[in-house]
Amino acid sequence: MNHVALSSSRKLRGGFRTFSTSEDFSAKKCVPCNAKDLRPMTEETANELISRVPEWNLVNESGVLKLNRSWKVKSFLKGLELFRLVAEVAESEGHHPDLHLVGWNNVTIEIWTHAVGGLTENDFILAAKINGLPLQDLLRRKAKS
């Protein structure tokens, strides 16, 4: 069984809170990362869940699993506006991603739970909430084929 610490409504198995895959991440709230039983999820569990946060990628950086997504924005200022929108969601969740603006229009966001050195349900919750942000006016349009 893969284990991840979640909210107190989770079942306890073997001393760890277990992960539920039946709920929509965007409807959940991040939980504080100060629980004694908080552990990073396994790569197997992360691979099972990545499809629930479309356009996010699972990356392994020196043994640390992270969620990663990139966008091309219309301008440097649009990139900063994207960061502002993400910051509002992140602050309300108490879970803060790593934000990168490379060049004038390449935005990348990395999400992982620094306190455990890997992924927890909080990371997927935040990714889902970022996916729900109204970003279309900030992004460059893809060329039509």
Pull the structure tokens for residue 34.
């100060």
Q: Is 62 helix (H, G, I), strand (E, B) or coil?
A: coil
Domain edges within the chain: 12-138
Selected residue with higher pLDDT from 89 and 38: 89
d(CA 32, CA 137): 33
Q: What is the pLDDT of residue 74?
A: 97
**pTM for the model:** 0.78
CATH ID of 12-138, from 3.40.50.300, 3.40.109.10, 3.30.565.10, 3.30.1360.20: 3.30.1360.20
d(CA 69, CA 106): 11
Lowest mean pLDDT across 1-10, 76-85, 124-133 = 1-10
Q: Taking a C-beta distance cutoff of 8 angstroms, is the pair 101, 79 a contact?
A: yes
Handedness of CA 40, 46, 52, 54 (dihedral sign): positive
The closest of 138, 141, 142 to 77, measured between CA atoms, is 138
